[in-house]
Structure 1
Amino acid sequence: MDSVALALIPWLDPQYILDHFGAFAVLVVCAIIFAETGLLVGFIFPGDSLLVITGLFAFDRDGQIGGIPIWVVALMIGAAAFIGGELGYYIGKKAGPPIFERKDSGLFSKANVDRTNAFFHRYGALAVILARFVPVVRTFAPIAAGVGRMNYRKYSLYNAVGAVVWGVGVTFLGYFLGYIPAVAYIVRNYIDVILLAAVVVTVVPALVTYLRNSRKAKQAEQQP
């Protein structure tokens, strides 16, 4: 990875983690996935690329990492993602309101919470599950769900589905890409560019629509 963050903190590089932590690599991967989905600072971690590279890493080592079979590794990652999402919801529910109830606190304004809450009410499962695949959003989505008091049972169910689809699914995707040498080579060398392009294509149109709707809503509120 070629970002400034990785130049300063090499252990954020997925390949570095898997190469240098030996038998503890799986635990380190799970800890990072947990932090990315459960802690506010988690957005700095390389979630998507870490999962794909973990799968490829296991493929290159007879389907194991530190003696742990890939299917166990994938389940451990899925569990870490689920637990992280549960913690994020709890943090949002308990600690979020004092921050978000302020009249004006930038990104954490009450208006943004109201919009996020409306989004969750409208799209429910889709919002929770798809958030897993968008960097930064997957860190804040559980917290926003907690702040918005989304039904816990419903959230927990969708959180579990998202954790399996993303955590287990993307890890196995990386593993099976190993069977296609040309694709595996491209992924190993250009994973960050690929993921960034995917995020831009997915997020930018949605962001533009969101900003337009927000502007229209503000104009409507200002009219007598």
Structure 2
Amino acid sequence: MQFLIDFILHIDVHLANLVNSFGLWSYALMFLIILIETGVVVLPFLPGDSLLFAAGALSANANNILDAWILWIGFFIVSLIGDSLNYFIGRTIGQKLLNTKIGHFIKPEQIKETEKFYEKHGAIAIILARYMPIIRTLAPFVAATSNFPYLRFFKYSLIGTFSWASIAVWAGYFFGNIPFVRKHFTMIILAIIIVTILPAVIGFIKTRTKKTKN
């Protein structure tokens, strides 16, 4: 866990080392991380937002082999595939998975929070969830277990993944190499993490408060 935290907070350094070590294979590794984060429902804690931002920033460096267009299209496609994979896991073995040891990685309150998110926002929640760590991984799974029609889910997933990949990669590309941003990169990554998980944290606190009152 300590390694994961260090990797996320200093992702610019680790990503640069990854690219230097693996060259073009680093594309495959980054795409695999996003595919796992979005497609494997029991691993919702991988660094999606910060990875896309850092990769976009790195691609703006003239001395780097990464191409922003390849990153953008690649992240969009793998996150879309991951959403569908996650959905079909939920549709085929959803409840059974939750009852296994692997399912213990998913906390009941996380499922409930995602269900409430759906109840509050409706189908648009599939788009909004893309910007919220943990919930974005659980959203396709919960949609499937709630018998949400796949074609309708796919339509909103398409919009969500496209906008998410576009904003994250191009924000990194255009802003990641500004001197102030580079100097305070760790703090900015931390701010991105805090902003994206804040709604989930607030929701969790509200749920715990209601349970305490009851």
TM over 0.5: yes
Question: Quick one: which amino acid aligns to residue 86 of structure 1?
Answer: S
**What is aligned with 2:81?**
83
Of 23-32 and 200-209, the range deviating more from structure 2: 200-209
The structure that has the greater radius of gyration is 1
2:135 pairs with 1:134? no
Cα deviation 1:84-115 (Å, max 9, x = unaligned):
0000000011110334589xx98565x97677
**What is aligned with 1:42?**
43
Change (3 A) 1:98 1:178: closer
**What is aligned with 1:204?**
201
2:150 pairs with 1:152? yes
Question: Quick one: which amino acid aligns to residue 196 of structure 1?
Answer: I
TM-score, with structure 1 as normaliser: 0.76
Contact 1:113-1:147 within 8 A present in 2 as well: no
Q: Secondary structure at the match of 2:44?
A: helix
**What is aligned with 1:222?**
none
In 2, the alpha carbon distance for the partners of 1:122 and 1:54 equals 33
Contact 2:80-2:157 within 8 A present in 1 as well: yes
Change (3 A) 1:117 1:17: same
**What is aligned with 2:192?**
195
In 1, the alpha carbon distance for the partners of 2:157 and 2:85 equals 11
Structure 1 stretches of 5 or more lacking a match? 220-224
| Aligned length, in residue pairs | 207
Contact 1:35-1:41 within 8 A present in 2 as well: no
In 2, the alpha carbon distance for the partners of 1:197 and 1:179 equals 21
Change (3 A) 1:153 1:20: same
Question: Quick one: which amino acid aligns to residue 54 of structure 2?
Answer: I
**What is aligned with 1:143?**
141
Shift in Å, 1:133:
1.9
Of 160-169 and 16-25, the range deviating more from structure 2: 16-25
Q: Secondary structure at the match of 1:86?
A: helix
Question: Quick one: which amino acid aligns to residue 84 of structure 1?
Answer: G
The 5 Å alignment of 1:48-67 reads: 48-61=49-62, 64-65=65-66
Contact 1:37-1:84 within 8 A present in 2 as well: yes
Larger relative contact order (Cα-Cα within 8 Å, sequence gap ≥ 6): 2
Shift in Å, 1:169:
1.8
Q: Secondary structure at the match of 1:202?
A: helix
In 2, the alpha carbon distance for the partners of 1:7 and 1:213 equals 31
Shift in Å, 1:212:
4.4
**What is aligned with 1:97?**
95
Same amino acid, percent of matched pairs = 26
CA RMSD of aligned residues (A): 3.2
Of 19-28 and 84-93, the range deviating more from structure 2: 19-28
Cα deviation 1:174-220 (Å, max 9, x = unaligned):
00114522123322x3344223322453333232334445677xx5x
In 2, the alpha carbon distance for the partners of 1:129 and 1:171 equals 17
Q: Secondary structure at the match of 1:167?
A: helix
**What is aligned with 1:28?**
29
Structure 2 stretches of 5 or more lacking a match? none
Contact 1:14-1:49 within 8 A present in 2 as well: no
